[in-house]
Amino acid sequence: MNKPLITILTAPKPFVDAHIQIIQKNTLRSWKALGNLIDVIVFGDDKGIKEIAHSIGIRHYPNVRCNQKGTPLVSSMLEIGRNESKSPYLAIVNADIILFSDFIQAVQDVSKVKNKFLIIGQRWDMEVLEEVGEEDTDFGLLKKRVPIEAKLHPPMGSDYFIFPRTCYQSIPDLAIGRAGWDNWFIYKSRWEGWAVVDGTHDVMIVHQLHDYAHLPGGKPHYRLPETKQNVTLGGGEHTIFALFDAQYDLKNRKLVKKKCTWKKMIREIEIFPLTDKRSQFLGKIFFNVFHPKKGYIAIRKALKKITNYGS
């Protein structure tokens, strides 16, 4: 039996809504179908999580630390993941993402040339209304439908993160499934000098489309107070990094440097104090210079806070 190469960590939504149930069952089955090189740990004690995890044959840990809203914390997921796994690589993947064998291949390819790295990439949005079978061949048939039925999502937000288990040893208490935590992960990689790899070309992932009825007020995650809290815990808006900040592409199983466009060059100048000088102070100054409107608002808030404190 092969030792797992990657341990996937995830925190599903409650298995209440019928469509969400289908989506998350498909997701977990697709991961299980990847074989012995993949280990999976599911977190949370919401309705149905334990039962579904056990029925598919994957591990379940209900006692993950959560924020005041009951949302699992990424820091706790990583702590448990390291303690309860022996794989050299960890991955955090959203519970609505179907994976294929190229997910494993990407890690094997990147790890040959980089010791410390983060692999992320764009997703394919696809409407999946039926349960997919449990075998690798069933998901192989689904993969063939993707170029025809699915649409490549713009390079905004990230749904999977693969990295060596030695990375991200200490992180803020960021809430999973809310905007901001994924941006911080990319920022942290650039701050530490790790290679950030855009795996879009070689790694196909399928995001099964759904609404936001499971979230408070049915609002998208980026409009929730927890998102603002994530950004604050991460250090502020100047730490909001995205897929555009990757230095490499994984293409045809080889790492190639991102093309140096004018837009890319300007962005690299903006984040230079963070990625090269590791200066939070200069990082904030450069952010305000490159984003004067946001900088103006931030200065006004700071002055108002000082005024209120002194009154």
- pTM score, whole prediction: 0.92
What stretches of 57-135 show up as alpha helix (H) in DSSP?
A: 74-83, 102-111
| DSSP, residue by residue, 148-208 | HH-EEPPS-S-SEEEEETTS-SS---PBTTSTTHHHHHHHHHHHHTPEEEE-TTT---EEE
- pLDDT at position 214 is 46
Side-chain half-sphere exposure of 16, counting CA atoms within 13 A? 8
- pLDDT tens, position by position, 4-28: 999 999 999 999 999 999 999 999 9
Spell out the domain ranges in the chain.
6-250, 261-310
Q: How far is Cα 301 from Cα 311, in angstroms, rounded to an integer?
A: 15
DSSP E strand stretches across the chain = 6-10, 38-43, 59-61, 89-93, 97-98, 117-120, 124-126, 151-152, 160-164, 195-198, 206-208, 248-251, 254-257
- Mean per-residue pLDDT pooled into runs of 10, the chain (311 residues): 91 94 97 97 96 96 94 97 97 97 98 98 96 89 96 93 96 94 97 98 96 55 78 94 98 97 97 97 95 81 68 55
Longest dimension (CA), the chain: 69
**Domain 6-250 belongs in CATH node 3.90.550.10:** yes
Q: How far is Cα 49 from Cα 28, in angstroms, rounded to an integer?
A: 11
At 256, list the tokens: 């190639």
Q: Say if residue 222 is exposed, middle or buried (CB neighbours under 10 Å; 0-12, 13-18, 19+).
A: middle
- pLDDT at position 108 is 98
